[in-house]
Structure 1
Amino acid sequence: MSATSTDRPSPAAAAGTAPAPAEPTSLRWRRLVSSALELTEVRWASVATGLFALGAVAQVVGAPAPVWWTLYLACYATGGWEPALEGLRALRARVLDVDLLMIVAAVLAASIGQVFDGALLVVIFATSGALEAFATKRTEDSVQALLTLAPERATRMVPGGAEEEVDAATLVVGDVVLVRPGERIGADGRVVDGLSAVDQSSVTGEPLPVAKAEGDQVFAGTLNGAGALTVAVDRAASDTVVARIVAMVEEASATKATTQLFIEKIEQRYSVGVVVATLGLFTVPLLLGAAFEPTLLRAMTFMIVASPCAIVLATMPPLLATIANAGRHGVLVKSAVALERIGAVTDIAFDKTGTLTHGAPRVARVHVVGELDEPGLLHLAATAERRSEHPVARALVTAARRQGVAPDEPRDFSSVPGRGVTAYVGGRRVDVGSPALLERTGGAAGGGGAAEEVREVVRTWEDQGHTVVVVLVDEVPAGAVALADQVREGAAEAVASLVRLTGASPVLLTGDNRHAARRLADEVGIDRVESGLLPDEKVAAVRALRATPESRVMLVGDGVNDAPAMAAADVGVAMGRNGSDLAVETADVILVRDDLAALAPTVALARRAHRVVRANLVIAAVVIAVLVVWDLVATLPLPLGVAGHEGSTIVVALNGLRLLRRGAWT
């Protein structure tokens, strides 16, 4: 068994360095400004704002009208050409775009001499568009930046101990690479030699370096500390954690949540309604004898303040920001639809083996009969099992080494599936296998009493939920070994966090026996247990949990047998590191590093995203309602209408952007 984190040196000690200092606030702001200026929308909005400011100054100081008119019209051109082009493209596709409504209103304002008001509309509309583009870019950059972390070159070890520099993209499963101190790791893999501390914050969100030793997983793009590591590649470049994060977030970006689909469905009808109402608000008063200019101004103001810009931006930016934030912490949400469902989860069901446990047995207890002691029994059993690839064999070999007894090379090894192995160790025949081996010991000298003693131990341990193997030496029972699956670190804390969050205890759904299931459930704090389930029975159990209309079920699993139940649940969550391909494909959410502790923050973040979406919709609807009523029953100045409408759009965009902050993940 590899050392646990408590047995290893602290990250700082292993790395030999202190954690890097936090980025200065001034530098962070300069980087954000630089990133913003890379956007075309931001550049044109900045130019339009400058021209508008010059025009306003020229008008205030009494410059000739052609001067400030020219500056305002230049503001129209720089800030309005892109939304005008987008609006015309949409119109060709028989779609009435909000951009076109804004540009028409600005042009009409200039046509009646209100060039200042029209230019103000263009500036604010261009600025809100630039902020929207910046928010979207920040969401994309937070994920795409992961790709740039992976180094382009890696040092591959070749037979004979030589080294060669190769393209990291050409590394294949089975290659062994050398990672020197301070280098970024070029591929996902497992450490085969060396000790160091690795900064994994870019992939897992862990704030401090993590100690890595033989057998530990490392990820491409993470930063090695002061020690050298030899890593065996176990994923191709296209399948690394960072590549999967990017691919799945991009796929999620292409999907649309239910709320978003509803908004898009009504957007066109609403926009047509705004145009019809605007025409009515303009023509009816004219037919009744109203003056032309104030009537047109009121109609334009109505068209601006009634446009659904903020409502359109209320939904997708917060959801995509949430998906990106979860991706940074090793949780891949495949779609916006899945994110909506996560936030509504009321019940959570867990698979047992490979999900709440590591899925690999370990030796829990040893009972010896006869002249052998515990190390001696483990030595014989581990030597007999040394050539076997069975998980039980690996557990016995690990336990023997932990006792300080290294297995020898067995002779005449043979294996019978479902029964066990036979080998000769030091001239003695050793059988290791299921308790069924005891059935053939009755005739052996001394076998009867020893067999009965071992049978009693086997019954007791199996009632306690253990898997038991027996050891025969020269066909005489020599002892029994109890094996238990190891509970994942933090499983109990993860379950407790989910109970606090949902108010309901999770359910354990497993194909394992009742005793083993109950023992595991007690260890992690689960009250409800359904054991001995076949895959179709797991599906039935999930459907039973969904029996009430308000129930929303999340199933967390890892195996092929969990995939049908994942599909039946509202949300399926797969263990990404060791989960089966079918489970990963079926799931809506993937825990990249099998970290159950990430479940509760994911649910909490999804719920926060829902609250932000609802708040955005309320803000947008209230602002539109207030401004529309104001314009209809009184006189709403065009600049104030523009500022109120576009201001709400900016507020909605920035509100969604908040979900990208690391502080949003709690």
Structure 2
Amino acid sequence: MVSTLTEPAAKPLTRPAAPRRRTRVLALPEVRWALAALALFLLALPLDLLGAPAWTWAPLFAATYVTGGWEPGWEGLKALKDKTLDVDLLMVVAALGAAAIGQVLDGALLIVIFATSGALEALATARTADSVRGLLDLAPATATRLPPDGGEESVAAQSLTVGDTILVRPGERIGADGRVLDGQSEVDQSTITGEPLPAAKQNGDEVFAGTVNGTGSLRVRVERDPADSVLARIVAMVEEASETKAPTQLFVEKVEQRYSLVMVAATLALFAVPLAFGAALQPTLLRAMTFMIVASPCAVVLATMPPLLSAIANAGRHGVLVKSAVVMERLGQTDAVALDKTGTLTEGAPHLADVCPLPGSGLTEDTLLS
């Protein structure tokens, strides 16, 4: 027999959307340094273009080099200590090379571009972490456990074990994956299944952690450890997706080291060989530095992971779980999409379409809507 439990209702939740917990942009040091470099560059640029004395814009450009280039330069030196030629160090060397041949503005612009890219990548990574934390927040911090000897006790949801019985009141989030032992209600499972309409639940039906109970109370037997719940596995999938590397990035990382070594060797050759044959120092240095700047792999590296991270984070904020960066990259090559069921996409927000009073009820549409 199915019985209906009557318990005091908890405060209802209007919608089980993942909380929009966002990292503040200025909380990221990469963003602060990039903004400082950009501000200094924008101050120096008009002074240089208008022909102002060098003492007015040279210190600003120098500060741009320092604020935007110290972090990638330091990371590059640490990589060099591990016998790895990092693209960050090449970027700084290329910018300093530009300054050495008199192209201070071009070198500063390169610094700003690279610093901005690093800031965008850090921001995208933070947004991905925010999405993961938002999913974790769907699970309630506490649950009401029903001990075998009777009574109720409020415990941490993470401390629940398989076989425990919990009480879920109206409006509460379910604390663990389990099966209904007693009670009738409807549960909003849109965070798990994507279905906007609540699912009816009664004795024997499965329920999931983080979903929202409706108007009835339920007694639920825990069948999965909280660390192995459907919600926990979704969170793990999002984290794994943000750590995977797309084929393009893997290729770039594979080629980057060899390409960088070849580029440095070619630059040194362009500088040393002409000098050995009596060429003038200034034009030889100019050609070598120009080659290093043009041949730098910075642009290729900047165009790989930041867009993928941003896309994965943006999808997570809109409730779309991306399996991996590989999948996201392949999405750009998709020509057709097949949809199941009725072949429609919804926003997950039902709207009233029609009002149909039951025959013989004596009610009209206006009465029901009043």
Verify same fold: TM over 0.5. Answer: yes
Of 65, 69, 80, the match for 1:91: 80
In structure 2, the residue matched to 1:80 is 69
Partners of 2:334 and 2:214 in 1: CA distance: 40
Of 253, 256, 264, the match for 1:264: 253
Given that 2:16 and 2:191 are in contact with CA atoms closer than 8 Å, whether structure 1 keeps it comes out as: no
Q: Does 1:157 align with 2:146?
A: yes
In structure 2, the residue matched to 1:143 is 132
| Deviation at residue 166 of structure 1 after TM alignment | 0.8
Within 5 Å, give how 1:294-373 maps onto structure 2. Answer: 295-312=284-301, 333=323
| Deviation at residue 249 of structure 1 after TM alignment | 4.5
From the superposition, tell whether residues 22 and 148 of structure 1 become closer, same or farther in structure 2 (CA, over 3 Å): closer
Partners of 1:115 and 1:124 in 2: CA distance: 14
Partners of 2:286 and 2:114 in 1: CA distance: 18
In structure 1, the residue matched to 2:199 is 211
In structure 1, the residue matched to 2:225 is 236
In structure 1, the residue matched to 2:172 is 183
From the superposition, tell whether residues 316 and 52 of structure 1 become closer, same or farther in structure 2 (CA, over 3 Å): closer
| Deviation at residue 93 of structure 1 after TM alignment | 1.0
Of 325, 331, 353, the match for 1:608: 331
Partners of 1:327 and 1:132 in 2: CA distance: 17
Given that 2:69 and 2:92 are in contact with CA atoms closer than 8 Å, whether structure 1 keeps it comes out as: yes
| Deviation at residue 119 of structure 1 after TM alignment | 1.4
From the superposition, tell whether residues 197 and 275 of structure 1 become closer, same or farther in structure 2 (CA, over 3 Å): farther
Partners of 1:128 and 1:198 in 2: CA distance: 44
Tell me: higher relative CO, structure 1 or 2? Use CA pairs within 8 A at least 6 residues apart: 2
Q: TM-score, normalization: structure 1? A: 0.42
Of 261, 265, 269, the match for 1:276: 265
Partners of 1:114 and 1:247 in 2: CA distance: 48
Given that 1:75 and 1:119 are in contact with CA atoms closer than 8 Å, whether structure 2 keeps it comes out as: yes
Given that 2:168 and 2:218 are in contact with CA atoms closer than 8 Å, whether structure 1 keeps it comes out as: yes
Of 117, 123, 147, the match for 1:134: 123
In structure 2, the residue matched to 1:220 is 209
Deviations 1:67-121 (A, max 9, x none): 4222222221111111001110111111111111110111222234332222111
Of 48, 62, 68, the match for 2:37: 48
Deviations 1:355-394 (A, max 9, x none): xxxxxxxxxxxxxxxxxxxxxxxxxxxxxxxxxxxxxxxx
Given that 1:196 and 1:228 are in contact with CA atoms closer than 8 Å, whether structure 2 keeps it comes out as: yes
Of 86, 89, 113, the match for 2:102: 113
Given that 2:189 and 2:199 are in contact with CA atoms closer than 8 Å, whether structure 1 keeps it comes out as: no
Of 60, 70, 74, the match for 1:71: 60
Within 5 Å, give how 1:428-467 maps onto structure 2. Answer: none
Given that 2:36 and 2:67 are in contact with CA atoms closer than 8 Å, whether structure 1 keeps it comes out as: yes
The amino acid of 2:173's aligned partner reads: R
Partners of 1:37 and 1:203 in 2: CA distance: 33
Q: Does 1:246 align with 2:235?
A: yes
| Deviation at residue 154 of structure 1 after TM alignment | 1.4
Partners of 1:313 and 1:238 in 2: CA distance: 37
The DSSP-based 3-state class of the residue aligned with 1:149 is coil
From the superposition, tell whether residues 329 and 227 of structure 1 become closer, same or farther in structure 2 (CA, over 3 Å): same
Given that 1:245 and 1:327 are in contact with CA atoms closer than 8 Å, whether structure 2 keeps it comes out as: no
5+ long unaligned stretches in structure 2: 3-11, 336-345, 348-370
Deviations 1:598-621 (A, max 9, x none): xxxxxxx67415669xxxxxxxxx
Partners of 2:136 and 2:200 in 1: CA distance: 23
Partners of 1:156 and 1:265 in 2: CA distance: 53
Deviations 1:325-374 (A, max 9, x none): 599979785x76xx57xxxxxxxxxxxxxxxxxxxxxxxxxxxxxxxxxx
The amino acid of 1:278's aligned partner reads: T
Partners of 2:89 and 2:244 in 1: CA distance: 26
The DSSP-based 3-state class of the residue aligned with 1:190 is strand
CA RMSD of aligned residues (A): 4.1
From the superposition, tell whether residues 48 and 238 of structure 1 become closer, same or farther in structure 2 (CA, over 3 Å): same
Of 173, 176, 181, the match for 1:192: 181
Within 5 Å, give how 1:617-628 maps onto structure 2. Answer: none
From the superposition, tell whether residues 267 and 38 of structure 1 become closer, same or farther in structure 2 (CA, over 3 Å): same
5+ long unaligned stretches in structure 1: 3-16, 341-604, 613-661
| Deviation at residue 58 of structure 1 after TM alignment | 4.3
Within 5 Å, give how 1:235-634 maps onto structure 2. Answer: 235-251=224-240, 256=245, 260-284=249-273, 292-293=281-282, 295-312=284-301, 333=323, 607-608=330-331
The amino acid of 1:93's aligned partner reads: D
From the superposition, tell whether residues 75 and 330 of structure 1 become closer, same or farther in structure 2 (CA, over 3 Å): closer
From the superposition, tell whether residues 608 and 127 of structure 1 become closer, same or farther in structure 2 (CA, over 3 Å): same
